[in-house]
Amino acid sequence: MAKRFGIGRGVTARLSGGHLLMLAVGALGAVSTFAAIRSTDDVVSVVVAGIDLQVGDQITADDLAIVEVRADDPLLAHYVSLNGRASLVGLIATSPIQHGTAIHRSSLVDPATSNAQRTMSFSVTRDRAVDGNIIAGDRIDVIAVGAKGSVSYALVDAIVVDSIGGSSDGPISSGPADDVVITVVVESAEALRLAGAIDGAEIRVARSTGAEPIDEVTWFEPATDSHPGDDIDA
């Protein structure tokens, strides 16, 4: 009787164990790769910086670029959508933004006064304001120096929305020609401190753009009139 060879059984035996596991892993990898390729079809157009933007740069349409990111990108919420591109034009960068990175609205400021902001202008000589090297988009600290040498802060990390050289057409009378007039965004309490410092102390301006936060702040306290009715005629 002729021998019968178990070809089918032999092949099955050789493909069992490690070989079958490798084939399964390979098939799973192929499926995962295909799924990943398909997932990239769901993309969203977002706005990024088309060039390196520096503090104080006012954004133009040419400074912006459009890229596509995956719809499931965890950082998608931080991007400005294509529809929001026009709203970025004219805003001023308050921190450096590298080419190709997302533009966060928290890094921009509107140079114009709006109903959502209190702004206040003050005049200071250049030698007390970083030689006048203060530009829109900078952040500054305003230091009040009292008559007896006391030193305190009137403002800390305030955003500058405008800075011009001293001239008669400035937002307020700027005095000497070497003065610089600075306009900052202030909260109500900050406006009172700044007004008190301007009237009752000498002020110095420190540019604090990019600096670490101040750990402990000694705030300027405006003097209060002990007899507010003295100037009122009886």
pLDDT tens, position by position, 140-185? 999 999 988 899 999 999 988 888 874 434 343 344 557 999 999 8
Rounded distance, CA 187 to CA 181, Å?
19
Residues in contact with 208: Cβ distance below 8 Å, sequence separation at least 6, in sequence order = 139, 140, 141, 156, 157
Report how far residue 88's alpha carbon sits from residue 75's, in angstroms, rounded to the nearest whole number. Answer: 19
Amino acid at the residue 134: I
CB-based contacts of 89: which residues, under 8 Å, 6+ apart? 59, 60, 61, 64
Task: Give the residue extent of every domain in the chain.
Answer: 43-109, 118-207
Looking at domain 43-109, does it have CATH number 3.40.50.300?
A: no
pLDDT band at residue 18 under the 50/70/90 scheme: low
pLDDT in tens, 25-61: 455 554 444 444 444 468 888 899 999 988 778 899 9
